[in-house]
C-alpha cells in the first residue's frame, strides 16, 4: 500500500477525440527507437476494438479467487504499424487514385475504427475513451514480474518499470488487463506510462492533461481532500474505474457519458431506451454506473432549474487551478517550484 496515490479523472462528456493528448505523450516520452508503435496514452472510439485490437476481450488481471489470470500476448498485427500515404500517386498520377495507405495489406492500427461506433441506423452511438496505465492499487503487472522489476512508488503510488532489472519476459503484458505495457524490441525491455512523474516532481501536471483542449482531465492525490480527484471520486462519487471486475483497482477514473433517450430513425421523436445500452456501460464501468448516471442527471436538472451545482461547476473545470492540484507529497502543500526548493530536493543541479 502506498502512502499517497496519484489519480486522474477524465470526463468522457468532454472528450473531442482530437488525440492532442496522444501526441503530447508521444512527443514527450516515446519518440525513440523501438517505441514507434507505443501509445502510452491512446484515445479509442467505443464501442470498438481499441488498441491493441480486442485488448479488453482477451483477459488479464485477477480471477474471482484473487489469482492472476494472464491473457495470451497480443501479436504484432493487433498493434498494426505506422504507415505512409500514397500522396505522390494522388498528386502526380492525374489524381485518379484516392488517398490511401501505401501498404494495402494493413488490417489494424491505432485509432483504426475511429468514429465508427455501433453502426446500425437509429441504434448508432459512440464516444471516445482515452486510456493510459491506471497505476493500479493492486497492479497485476507487479505481481506477474518474476524479476521484481516493476514496483509501485511508496510515496505516490505511481507504477514504474526498473529498466535495468527488466529482462523483457513480458509476463507483465499478459497480466495487465488493460494491455498498457509495451515491449521494446530494440532494447529487449518492457516499457509503460510513467504518469509524467518527472513533471509532477517539479509541480507540473502530466503532459496529456496540460495539452488537452477539452479540459477534461483532473489530476491530484486521491487522499488529498482538496484535490479535484478526491472530490469527484470519493466525495461526489461521479467517477469510476474501467473494468473494475478485473481486480487491479485502477486509479484512472471516468465520468461516464450522459445517456439521454435514443432518437428514432429519420427524426421521428425519442424512444424509451437510452442512447447507450446500459449493459455496455455496466460492462465498462461496473454496476455502480447506474447510480453515477442518476447522480449526474440530478445535478444537471438542478443546474437547468437555476440552482448551483458544485459538481457541474467542478466538471466544467475552466481553470487549471481547479483541474489540477499537484502537491509536494512530503508536505502535502502546493508544490514550491522555486529553484531554491528544487535544489534542496536534488531535482536540479546548481
Ligand atoms: S494498468 Fe496494467 S500496467 Fe498499469 S499498473 Fe495496472 S496492471 Fe500495471
Ligand atoms: S486531448 Fe483531451 S479532448 Fe483531445 S482526445 Fe485527448 S482527452 Fe480527448
Residue 155: pLDDT band (50, 70, 90) is very high
pLDDT of residue 271: 85
Question: Which of 248, 251, 253, 254 maximizes ligand 1 atoms within 8 Å of its Cβ, making it the mutation to test the pocket?
Answer: 248
Q: Is 172 within 8 Å of 189 (Cβ atoms)?
A: no
pLDDT in tens, 253-274: 999 999 988 888 777 888 888 9
Q: Where are the domains of the chain?
A: 6-82+109-328
Whether residue 153 is predicted with pLDDT greater than 80 in this model: the reply is: yes
The more confident residue out of 294 and 343 is 294
Residue 312 contacts by C-beta under 8 Å, 6 or more apart in sequence? 299, 300, 302, 303
d(CA 241, CA 285): 6
pLDDT of residue 178: 98
d(CA 319, CA 313): 11
d(CA 22, CA 207): 9
Cα-Cα-Cα-Cα torsion 324, 326, 327, 330, nearest 10 degrees, comes to: 140
Q: Is 194 within 8 Å of 145 (Cβ atoms)?
A: no
pLDDT in tens, 114-137: 999 987 777 889 999 999 999 999
CB of 9 sitting under 6 A from ligand 2: no
Distance of CA 229 from the midpoint of ligand 2 (Å): 18
pLDDT in tens, 66-115: 999 999 999 999 999 778 888 888 888 776 778 888 888 888 999 999 99
Distance of CA 214 from the midpoint of ligand 2 (Å): 6
Residue 345: pLDDT band (50, 70, 90) is low
Instruction: Report the residue count for the chain.
Output: 350
Whether residue 340 is predicted with pLDDT greater than 90 in this model: the reply is: no
pLDDT of residue 221: 98
**What is this structure's pTM?**
0.93
CB of 21 sitting under 6 A from ligand 2: yes
pLDDT of residue 21: 98
Q: Which of 130, 121, 153, 144 is nearest to 70 (CA)?
A: 144
Least confident of 94-98, 184-188, 189-193: 94-98
Point out the ligand nearest to the CA of residue 136.
1
State mean pLDDT over 159-182.
98
pLDDT of residue 337: 66
6-82+109-328 has CATH 3.30.70.20 classification: yes
State mean pLDDT over 234-261.
97
Residue 122 CA from chain centroid, whole number: 29
Distance of CA 238 from the midpoint of ligand 2 (Å): 20
User: Which residue, by CA, sits nearest to atom 6 of ligand 2?
Assistant: 21
Give percent of the chain above pLDDT 90.
79
State mean pLDDT over 15-21.
98
d(CA 180, CA 189): 14
Mean predicted lDDT score pLDDT of the chain? 93
Amino acid at each position: 500500500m502506498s502512502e499517497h496515490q496519484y489519480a486522474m479523472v477524465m470526463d468522457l462528456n468532454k472528450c473531442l477525440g482530437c488525440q492532442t493528448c496522444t501526441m503530447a505523450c508521444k512527443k514527450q516520452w516515446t519518440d525513440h527507437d523501438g517505441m514507434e508503435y507505443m501509445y502510452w496514452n491512446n484515445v479509442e472510439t467505443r464501442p470498438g476494438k481499441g488498441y491493441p485490437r480486442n485488448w479488453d476481450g482477451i483477459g488479464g488481471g485477477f480471477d474471482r479467487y484473487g489469482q492472476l489470470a494472464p491473457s495470451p500476448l497480443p501479436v504484432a498485427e493487433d498493434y498494426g504499424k505506422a504507415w505512409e500515404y500514397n500522396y505522390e500517386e494522388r498528386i502526380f498520377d492525374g489524381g485518379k487514385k484516392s488517398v490511401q495507405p501505401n501498404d494495402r495489406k494493413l488490417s489494424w492500427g491505432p485509432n483504426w475504427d475511429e468514429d465508427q461506433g455501433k453502426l446500425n441506423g437509429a441504434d448508432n452511438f459512440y464516444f471516445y475513451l482515452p486510456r493510459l496505465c491506471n497505476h493500479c492499487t493492486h497492479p497485476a503487472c507487479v505481481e506477474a514480474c518474476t524479476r521484481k522489476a516493476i514496483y509501485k512508488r511508496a510515496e505516490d503510488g505511481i507504477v514504474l518499470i526498473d529498466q535495468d532489472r527488466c529482462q523483457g519476459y513480458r509476463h507483465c503484458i499478459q497480466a495487465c488487463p488493460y494491455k498498457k505495457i509495451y515491449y521494446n524490441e530494440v532494447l529487449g525491455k518492457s516499457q509503460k506510462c510513467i504518469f509524467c512523474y518527472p513533471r509532477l516532481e517539479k509541480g507540473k501536471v502530466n503532459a496529456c492533461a496540460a495539452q488537452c483542449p477539452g479540459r477534461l482531465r483532473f489530476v491530484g492525490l486521491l487522499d488529498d481532500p482538496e484535490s479535484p480527484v478526491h472530490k469527484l471520486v470519493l466525495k461526489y462519487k461521479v467517477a469510476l474505474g474501467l473494468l473494475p471486475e478485473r481486480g487491479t483497482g485502477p486509479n484512472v477514473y471516468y465520468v461516464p457519458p450522459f445517456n439521454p433517450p435514443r432518437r428514432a430513425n429519420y427524426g421521428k421523436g425519442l424512444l424509451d431506451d437510452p442512447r447507450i445500452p446500459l449493459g455496455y456501460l455496466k460492462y465498462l464501468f461496473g454496476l455502480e454506473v447506474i447510480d453515477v448516471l442518476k447522480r449526474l442527471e440530478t445535478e444537471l436538472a438542478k443546474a437547468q432549474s437555476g440552482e448551483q451545482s458544485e459538481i457541474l461547476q467542478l466538471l466544467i473545470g475552466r481553470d487549471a487551478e481547479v483541474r489540477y492540484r499537484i502537491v509536494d507529497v512530503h508536505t502535502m502543500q502546493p508544490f514550491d517550484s522555486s529553484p531554491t526548493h528544487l535544489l534542496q530536493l536534488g531535482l536540479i543541479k546548481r
